[in-house]
A and B are shown apart, each in its own frame.
Chain A
Amino acid sequence: MMYNEQLLGYLQKAVAKPLWSEDKAQVFSAEAGIKDSGAWLKLYCHIEGNTILDLRYRVLGSGYLIATAEWANAVLTGKSVAAAQSLNASCVIEALNLPPTRVYCAQMLVDVITKIIRQAI
């Protein structure tokens, strides 16, 4: 299987930034998948007002899932909550050119963001 360069770029940029304490005000987190199943994503968003100030994550899974998490960091940091709300799986699949067998990465990301926004608004 050939990997696209954009996806590889996000994968290679992915880094485990230190996490905030989960009880810190304005930090919201949610997860999708199960660690023991080999596909798991947990996102942490620092949201103030209507803006996502920062986004961090922990992820276990294929390179596609890691790249998806890093892509979310790149496109959502500094954006409004409304912009995050408009994100759907198709946008992620198209942006990262995910193959059909990796569509679940986009769905996991959208699930997590939806859960976080529910907490934040």
Chain B
Amino acid sequence: MANVFDPIYLDYMATTPVDEKVAEEMMRCLTLKGNFGNASSATHVYGWRAQNTISKARELLAYSIGATPREVVFTSGATEANNLAIQGAARFYAKKGRHLITTTLEHKAVLDVFYALEKEGFKITLVRPNSEGIVSVEAVAAAITPETILVSTLWVNNEIGTIQPIADIAALTRERGILLHVDAAQAMGKVAVDLSQIPVDLMSFSAHKVYGPKGSGALFVRNNPRARVMPLFYGGAQEQGLRAGTLATHQIVGMAAAFQRAKAEAKADLKHIKALNALLLPGLLALEGVTLNGSTDQRVPHNINVCFQGLNAEALLMSLPEIAVSAGSACHSAEEEPSHVLKAIGLSDLQARASLRFSLGRYTTIDDIQRALKAISREVQRERDLAGK
């Protein structure tokens, strides 16, 4: 339980606490009393039990995303899943073509993979979003060449929460016979994910954004029509030879339980988050010089990214010990450079440095929002006074 003196946590897009019930399920796979065996140990009951547990978790996770169990490859997180999808597909289909497409809105776990492949000789195109933070299907279509083998885009942006038109992009890539990878690390639990309905070939998932454990992720690899990827490393036949290494039973069980709960609680979670958003967003926009970054309607309500025009977000962060929020993506918020996502939607360096991301979650309360707004209002006024505005 959080200490009463701990800051109000409004950084759920950075990570979420593990759900208590998920943690209980994970604990059952760790100790001597529990299901601790190695799923690859085929000669004794400990191994059989672990394999059985993983099979059930795989079924559960597959069901929660509208896939079949065979289409799920467990990884150490979305970063690895993105690498496996992009590097793996690029290398597998390199003889077919060497052009790859992604967007300037991506997380570094995708962008950096593209830059690495560019150094290997692949040609890359980065499609720009509009000022709302949405990449149009027309812009993707315009970037396609006869050499294109892969399009990769995120579904929900981690910094500004905008929702990309995945169904339209998937229809386009399927029609053109190009593989589509979607980074859905931020999508699960926020938008309806049903892979039986959208023709995406590869999709990356993360557990810790959905009240599951850190260090656990998965890559969906479509079986029909079959998408192919080369493994990133070797050393075992686990995960159909795509991901060598002993399966982390507790992590996999935790991820599956978290995904099952996300699907089961989707309506209740969404209602709760919308109520919080309906309080926080107008409260922030009522402050002088505050504007919303990204689309007002094509975004998840979990995310509010605002620009405090004429102020410095870092100064606000430092002056607000009562709340835990992020200036940009948590994965690179320690860097000095302004957010590449905010710059991609047309913000100046100064505006990007004046922006903060608030992200809401299952455990955020109305009281949290009221207290946060009071603190933010106080600090914004103080810093405007200090700046002589």
Contacts and interface: CB of A to CB of B under 8 A. Distances in A.
Interface of A: 1, 3, 8, 11-12, 14-16, 19, 35-38, 40, 42, 57-63, 65-66, 101
B310 to A, nearest CB: 7
Contacts of A42: 388
Given A8-B321, A60-B310, A16 B315 contact: no
B314 interface: yes
B267 interface: no
A38 B382 contact: no
A14 B386 contact: yes
Contacts of B317: 63
Given A1-B334, A12-B319, A37-B350, A58 B314 contact: no
Contact of A62 (B312, B350, B382, B385): B312
Nearest to B385: A16
Given A60-B312, A65-B315, 14 more contacts: A14-B382, A15-B385, A15-B386, A35-B387, A36-B350, A58-B387, A59-B387, A60-B311, A61-B312, A61-B315, A63-B314, A63-B315, A63-B319, A66-B315
11 contacts: A3-B318, A14-B382, A15-B385, A16-B385, A16-B388, A36-B350, A60-B311, A60-B387, A61-B312, A61-B315, A62-B318
Given A11-B318, A11-B319, A61-B312, A66 B386 contact: yes
A55 to B, nearest CB: 14
A65 B387 CA distance: 11
Main secondary structure of the interface of A (DSSP, over half): mixed
Contacts of B297: none
Interface string B210-249: 0000000000000000000000000000000000000000
Interface string B371-389: 0000000000011011110
B350 to A, nearest CB: 5
Interface of B: 310-312, 314-315, 317-319, 321, 334, 336, 349-350, 353-354, 382-383, 385-388
Contact of A16 (B312, B349, B386): B386
A14 B316 CA distance: 13
A11 B336 CA distance: 20
A76 B329 CA distance: 39
Nearest to A58: B388
Contacts of B319: 11-12, 63, 66
A43 B93 CA distance: 63
Contacts of A101: 336
Closest CB pairs A-B (n = 8): A63-B318, A16-B385, A60-B387, A58-B388, A63-B315, A1-B334, A16-B386, A62-B314
